[in-house]
């Protein structure tokens, strides 16, 4: 049997591959329960089923449109009343009291709704429409419950002075009649109410004027008493005068204290100069002016002189000396008596040596007189200083008391002014009311808008119900929400997997690769596409799973057909070959072989021949026209019993030979469900790589396939998500331009030499 020759020599592996488990860090982590639907899933479901969402939305909107057209049209008419005069003038509290006493809108509206006001108006309306009653216009309240509908509404417009009255009914003519009668009735009510209010205000004014006059008289008396008591004419002038007086008193005090200090210094100096004190100076001045005392003093001086002369000749015991001493002793009582007469007994007893004072010369007498004058001036200055201090203390008391006086004065003035203002306003208002009463003029409320029913620019009545635009808007929003809910429910009951995250949640297994749905880029001679880069990433992850014991054989399988497992097997093999590994791609599907088709190879000889023959497996291997490191072992003729053939010892021997001669052997196998081929082959490889087709694989079938793998004990390496739409990632441009050109040239040459292989997609 002839086979195509393969490049020689084939490499022989020294070590046989041992069984392994996945690393602990690659174990599937627990994921949230599938029933926990998140908002992101809601939106994704709505987007995937956009036509269903739009269909539900359209149906709801059309239904709402039809229902709206069948409804009876209801209209609303209204009119607006200005109940207070509009003025920008700032009003005092007294004015507010006089002008409607601060309009109470809530109370006024309840009065307008009351039967007392409405029943007379309803009687007039019943002349045209007898069916109208008070209960038909207003809802009735019983406890906390309300019965009926408020067809007639009376409300204040925001914080304005306007009250709006509106009435709803299906008959526009009835609306117009009702509103016109109510408007005229309210205007009449306002006139009567205004007249009654004016009478009450006039009565109030008449009662307040005498009270204000009495209060003014009392305040005037208190103000007059305050002025008389504190001698206040004008508070401002009084304060200025106090300030000036304080300044003058302080200046006088300084001047007096300065003069007093000077006089005291002069007195001290004169006393030191004369050697006598003030009392001695007074005595010397007094006795020097008395003739009798001077005569006695002179006689005493003469005796003393004679004694002095005689003592030069005689001793103290001499009769002459003794005689003179007797005369001296006789004169002393006379001098003492005379001094007491002149000076007084108290002063005379205080001063010793009075005779010496009486014999002062004119100079000393002059100094003594200066002492007396200075002492007199000091007395005057001390009295003046004391008076100034008393005046200063009095002014200080006035200054301390003055703010209280001024405050009391101001309060009385303010009260008098307020009473005067109020009195003027009351009298003015009284005159105005009396004039209006005489002229029979009252200011009623004013109709500023309506009564009317809104119309279009074409003079067509505008209904308030049903509101077509509003109903359509609500229907569109509600329909959209309902459509999303229906889409989510449809999505929930649909078992198809849409995203890699769905696969991860369903299998609790690692998703090793995500293959984009890019058929045009599955084989490109121009550059590295995202499709090709995805397989390179997948191959890299497989090589890194166990760096100590690398994966050398791999089974590619899927739960059902049409998941793209053959495409994944082919392009994973091509990616591994491109990255430098010697790769053998084996078509292990002996029921419906497909790998030879996109490569343009013959399937006359293949795996089935290698199993039943005794020839080396290398005799049946074909070189791949795309890459020199990639080799293909096609399925060969379809045998009658593929599982028996695959489970034979010869098959094991074939697989062993493949592992010994290649770095990586990839087996493309049939679907897992209902077929044992994949489990048989994967039992002799490093593990199985499960391909899941996005938007194709059924969740239930995938779980059944996983259960079968679990039962068979096959090592499941991981999952590949195939056919991701709309999320293709452009690979990083890390290849130099020259390398791109060389790679393109090589690829083009390979394509030309192998009949331009333009499709590597297998849909099995």
pLDDT at 22 over 60: no
Q: Are 186 and 112 in contact (CB under 8 A)?
A: yes
Percent of the chain's residues with pLDDT above 90: 4
Q: Would you state the pLDDT for residue 318?
A: 83
Beta strands in 589-711, from DSSP E residues, in sequence order: 622-623, 630-633, 664-668, 688-693
Long-range contacts of 377-385 (CB under 8 A, 24+ apart): 377/263, 378/260, 378/263, 378/264, 378/267, 381/256, 381/259, 381/260, 381/263, 382/260, 384/256, 385/253, 385/256, 385/257, 385/260
pLDDT at 383 over 80: yes
Give residue-wise pLDDT tens across range 520-562: 555 554 456 778 888 888 888 888 876 677 888 999 988 888 8
Run of H or E including 367: helix 362-439
Q: Would you state the pLDDT for residue 440?
A: 58
pLDDT at 667 over 90: yes
Span 280-302, average pLDDT: 68
Write the DSSP string, 204-235.
HHHHHHHHHHHHHHHHHHHHHHHHHHHT-S-H
Helix (H, G, I), strand (E, B) or coil at 515: strand
Q: Cα angle vertex 510, ends 509, 514, to 5°?
A: 125
pTM strictly above 0.75: no
DSSP state of 9: P
Q: For residue 697, give both structure tokens.
A: 């694989």
Cα 310 from chain centroid? 126
Q: What is the 3-state secondary structure (H, E, C) of 465-489?
A: ECCHHHHHHHHHHHHHHHHHHHHHH
pLDDT at 169 over 80: yes
* Gyration radius of the chain over CA positions: 66
Span 511-517, average pLDDT: 83
Q: Would you state the pLDDT for residue 632?
A: 92
Give residue-wise pLDDT tens across range 188-223: 888 887 777 777 888 888 888 888 888 888 888 887
Helical H runs in 545-691?
Answer: 565-578, 596-599, 607-612, 642-646, 649-661, 677-682
The Cα–Cα gap between 584 and 627 comes to 12
């Amino acid at each position: 049997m002839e086979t195509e020759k393969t490049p020689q020599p084939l490499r022989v592996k020294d070590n046989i591959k041992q069984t392994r488990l996945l690393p602990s860090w690659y174990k599937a982590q627990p994921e949230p329960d599938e029933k926990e639907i998140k908002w992101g899933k809601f939106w994704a479901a709505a987007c995937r089923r956009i036509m269903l969402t739009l269909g539900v939305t359209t149906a709801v909107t059309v239904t709402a449109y039809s229902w709206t057209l069948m409804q009876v049209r209801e209209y609303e008419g209204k009119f607006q009343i200005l109940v207070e005069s509009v003025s920008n003038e700032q009003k005092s509290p007294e004015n507010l009291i006089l002008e409607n006493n601060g309009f109470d809108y809530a109370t006024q509206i309840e009065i307008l709704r009351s039967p007392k006001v409405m029943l007379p108006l309803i009687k007039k309306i019943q002349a045209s429409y007898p069916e109208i009653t008070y209960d038909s216009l207003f809802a009735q309240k019983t406890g906390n419950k309300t019965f009926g509908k408020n067809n007639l509404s009376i409300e204040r417009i925001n914080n304005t002075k306007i009250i709006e009255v509106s009435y709803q009914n299906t008959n526009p003519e009835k609306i117009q009649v009702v509103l016109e009668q109510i408007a005229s009735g309210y205007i009449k009510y306002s006139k009567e109410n205004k007249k009654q209010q004016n009478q009450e205000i006039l009565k109030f004014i008449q009662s307040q004027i005498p009270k204000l006059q009495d209060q003014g008289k009392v305040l005037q008396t208190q103000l007059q008493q305050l002025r008389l008591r504190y001698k206040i004419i004008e508070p401002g002038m009084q304060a200025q005068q106090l300030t000036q007086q304080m300044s003058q008193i302080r200046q006088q005090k300084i001047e007096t204290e300065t003069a007093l200090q000077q006089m005291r210094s002069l007195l001290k100096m004169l006393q030191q100069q004369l050697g006598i004190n003030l009392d001695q100076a007074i005595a010397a001045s007094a006795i020097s002016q008395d003739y009798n005392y001077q005569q006695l003093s002179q006689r005493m001086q003469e005796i003393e002189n004679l004694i002095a002369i005689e003592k030069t000749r005689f001793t103290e015991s001499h009769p002459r000396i003794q005689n003179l001493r007797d005369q001296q002793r006789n004169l002393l009582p006379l001098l003492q008596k005379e001094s007491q007469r002149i000076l007084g007994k108290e002063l005379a007893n205080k001063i010793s040596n009075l005779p010496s004072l009486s014999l002062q010369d004119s100079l000393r007498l002059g100094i003594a007189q200066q002492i007396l004058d200075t002492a007199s001036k000091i007395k005057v200055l001390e009295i003046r200083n004391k008076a100034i201090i008393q005046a200063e203390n009095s002014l200080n008391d006035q200054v301390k008391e003055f703010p209280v006086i001024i405050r009391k004065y101001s309060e009385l003035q303010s009260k008098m002014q307020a009473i005067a203002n109020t009195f003027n306003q009351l009298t003015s208002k009284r005159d105005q009311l009396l004039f209006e009463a005489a002229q029979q003029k009252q200011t009623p409320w004013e109709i500023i808008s309506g009564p009317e029913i809104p119309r279009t620019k074409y003079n067509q009545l505008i209904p308030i119900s049903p509101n077509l635009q509003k109903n359509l808007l609500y229907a569109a929003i509600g329909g959209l929400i309902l459509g999303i809910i229906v889409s989510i429910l449809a999505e929930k009951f649909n078992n198809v997997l849409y995203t890699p995250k769905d696969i991860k949640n369903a299998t609790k297994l690692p998703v090793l690769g995500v293959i984009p749905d890019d058929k045009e880029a599955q084989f490109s001679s121009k550059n590295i596409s995202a499709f090709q880069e995805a397989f390179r990433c997948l191959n890299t992850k497989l090589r890194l799973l166990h760096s100590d014991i690398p994966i050398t054989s791999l089974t590619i399988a899927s739960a059902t057909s049409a998941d793209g497992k053959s495409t994944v097997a082919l392009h994973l093999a091509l990616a591994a070959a491109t990255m430098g590994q010697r790769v053998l791609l084996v078509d292990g599907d002996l029921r419906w072989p497909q790998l030879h088709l996109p490569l343009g190879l013959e399937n006359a000889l293949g795996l089935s021949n290698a199993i039943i023959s005794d020839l080396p497996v290398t005799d049946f291997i074909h070189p791949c026209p795309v890459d020199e490191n990639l080799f293909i072992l096609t399925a060969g003729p379809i045998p009658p019993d593929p599982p028996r053939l695959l489970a034979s010892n010869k098959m094991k021997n074939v697989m062993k030979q493949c592992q010994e001669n290649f770095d990586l052997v990839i087996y493309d196998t049939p679907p897992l469900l209902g077929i044992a081929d994949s489990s048989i082959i994967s039992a002799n490889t490093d593990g199985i790589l499960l391909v899941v087709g996005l938007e194709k694989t059924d969740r239930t079938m995938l779980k059944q396939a996983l259960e079968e793998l679990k039962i068979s004990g096959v090592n499941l390496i991981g999952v590949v998500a195939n056919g991701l739409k709309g999320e293709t990632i452009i690979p990083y441009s890390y290849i130099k331009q020259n390398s791109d050109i060389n790679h393109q040239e090589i690829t083009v040459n390979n394509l030309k030499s192998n009949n331009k292989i333009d499709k590597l997609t297998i849909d099995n």
